[in-house]
Amino acid sequence: DIQMTQSPSTLSASVGDRVAITCRASQGIVNWLAWYQQKPGKAPKLLIYKASSLESGVPSRFSGSGYGTEFTLTISSLQPDDFATYYCQQYNSYSSFGQGTKLEIK
Amino acid sequence: QITLKESGPTLVKPTQTLTLTCTFSGFSLSTSGVGVGWIRQPPGKALEWLALIYWDDEKRYSPSLKSRLAITKDTSKNQVVLTMTNTDPVDTATYYCAHTRADIVVVNAFSPWGQGTLVTVSS
């Protein structure tokens, strides 16, 4: 099984900040990685697929990068709507998710 | 517009079989490349991929749960059914179904997702 480890688990930031969330895979996954945003009581929403491809309709302040075992989700300028929990998902070998990163208001 | 909605029991007793139905619209599971997957999330915990079925009836299961899961589709009804046998309290979770598209990998990213349905396993 491929284990996905996200860091940090919690991130405190302010509107307008640039933030980055990291996801590390226990073995290489090429670029088969997705990022999701989840708000309380709601289903996850796909933001990024294939590590760096922006899903249609997702604001351009979201970007993804990485290859192999280390990946990053960057939000260039935080907006009030961005405070949520973010998950990475690998789909190189079946699929597994990271434990989540809660982005909270500082 | 693609929409999906999960339905099924809210409470099941341990050792019983859980049957969940995903009813969708906006796409057809007879269209090449289309798939529907199931993902669950225990309260306050992370997401876990369970199973996936493609337009050509190819099925994929989480290796850790494979022996307990079965996924089927009814193309005429636009439904996908997930069955989980021998349930346990640790199976208490919100269960989501989601749309996906085939790629060269076995599983792909999911979008969009249904609203989810909370299933509690308790005696």
pLDDT one-digit tens code per residue, B11-23? 999 999 999 999 9
Residues 6+ apart with CB under 8 A from B116: A43, B6, B41, B94, B95, B96
Q: What confidence category does residue B29 fall into, taking pLDDT thresholds of 50, 70 and 90?
A: very high
B3 touches chain A (CB under 8 A): no
Lowest mean pLDDT among A5-14, A50-59, B99-108: B99-108
* Phi, then psi, of B89 in degrees rounded to 5: -55, -30
The one-letter amino acid code at A31 reads N
The average confidence (pLDDT) of chain B is: 97
- Taking the Cβ of residue A62 and every Cβ of chain B, the question of whether any pair is shorter than 8 Å is answered with no
Query: How big is chain A by its Cα radius of gyration, in Å?
Result: 13
A44–chain B nearest CA distance, Å = 7
Which whole number is the average pLDDT over B96-109? 91
Q: What is the pLDDT of residue A86?
A: 98
Encoded tokens for A4: 């996905």
Q: What percent of chain B has pLDDT over 70?
A: 100
Tell me the shortest Cα–Cα distance from B56 to chain A, in angstroms.
18
Does residue B103 register a pLDDT over 90? no
Which member of B47, B63, B105 has the closest CB to residue A97? Answer: B47
Question: In whole angstroms, how far apart are CA B119 and each of A28, B9, B13, B96?
Answer: 34, 7, 11, 11
Mean pLDDT (whole number) for B72-100: 98
How far apart are the CA of B74 and the nearest CA of chain A, in angstroms? 24
Inter-chain contact A87–B47, Cβ cutoff 8 Å? Answer: yes
- Chain B residues whose beta carbon lies within 8 Å of the beta carbon of residue A50: 109
Backbone angles phi, psi at B110, to 5 degrees: -115, 130
Give the pLDDT band of residue B112 (cuts 50, 70, 90): very high
Element counts in chain A: helices (H) and strands (E): 0, 11
Asked if pLDDT for residue B102 goes beyond 90, the answer is no
